[in-house]
Amino acid sequence: MIIDSNSLKGVIKIMNKISKIFIRRIWLFLVCVWIITGCAGFDQSGKTDFILGNWPPGYLLKEQLPDSAALLPPPPALKSKAFALDKEVSKKSFVLRNTPRWQLARNDANLNFPQAAETFSCALNAPINQQDTPHLLNLLNIAKTDAGDSTNRAKEKYHRLRPFQMNNKPICTPEKKEKEFLEKNGSYPSGHAAIGWAWALILAEISPERTDAILSRGLAFGESRIICNVHWQSDVNEGRLMGAATVARLQANPAFRADLEASINELSVIRSKGLLPARDCKAEAEELMH
């Protein structure tokens, strides 16, 4: 059968249209899968991926991160006085398990955005969300990755056991995959404490008039890891050091500085509008009293 040139052009045109439709549908499918599996901090069953959820690329390259293996001393030896203190602090935290402070510690374990963004909103006395403060939301989420990654080298070097692996007591995030991750991830230093202290230092720079409240919340954020029975006091102490080292390194990063300035401007607008946090700050203050 002979096909003339006009007919052939028509066939090619139709095939091109079909290809474009097919490609668009494939892209739509992939985007949907990405949204469902990668972006959501909470799935539709209501379960939370506290640690294993969304981690964007950081501001810093891997080689630009402060080196926790070089900066930190080894974790306390098992028969040392320092480890005896770790165990004593851990034991004293057990009395908080039937109090609201235990639930707050569980909430603090959630590092997923946008849910985690409101953690410091009471201390900041302002909402932190996509609608009102998109630059601040983005800044905290990206800095989370840098501060968390700053602890990796020491974690890999020492592979310290976590409290629950030694005392067999409950943890505040007992979900199977969360617990399995923690069991394989070294306890020293605390990544959560590094992140919380980095957030506190950044927010104190954005809102210096709220420094005391913000730093106090940053300290409590690290203490939540002890209450959760997933970190020792020394893990938290050295995690805060890595958080501070990360923020010091971020100060020289142009992208971070640009987002910081944009966040300061956003907060100025928030203050002028008198917008308040969405969290129950009175209840949070009572929980922190424990």
Give the integer Cα–Cα distance in Å for 146 and 275: 29
**Ramachandran sector of residue 168 (left: φ over 0; alpha: ψ -120 to 50; beta: rest):** left
Could you confirm whether 106 is annotated as catalytic? Answer: no
Could you confirm whether 235 is annotated as catalytic? yes
C-alpha distances (whole Å) from 279 to each of 41, 119, 129, 155 are 18, 9, 12, 33
Helices (H), the chain: 5-34, 68-71, 81-93, 100-109, 121-124, 134-149, 152-158, 163-167, 176-184, 191-206, 211-227, 233-250, 254-273, 281-288
Of 86, 108, 149, 235, the catalytic one is 235
Active site annotation includes 153: no
Return the CA Rg of the chain: 23
> Is 217 noted as a catalytic residue in this protein?
no
Catalytic-role residue among 106, 153, 160, 192: 192
- 25's CB contacts (< 8 A; 6+ apart) are none
Catalytic residue (choose from 106, 210, 217, 231): 231
Catalytic residue numbers read: 192, 225, 231, 235
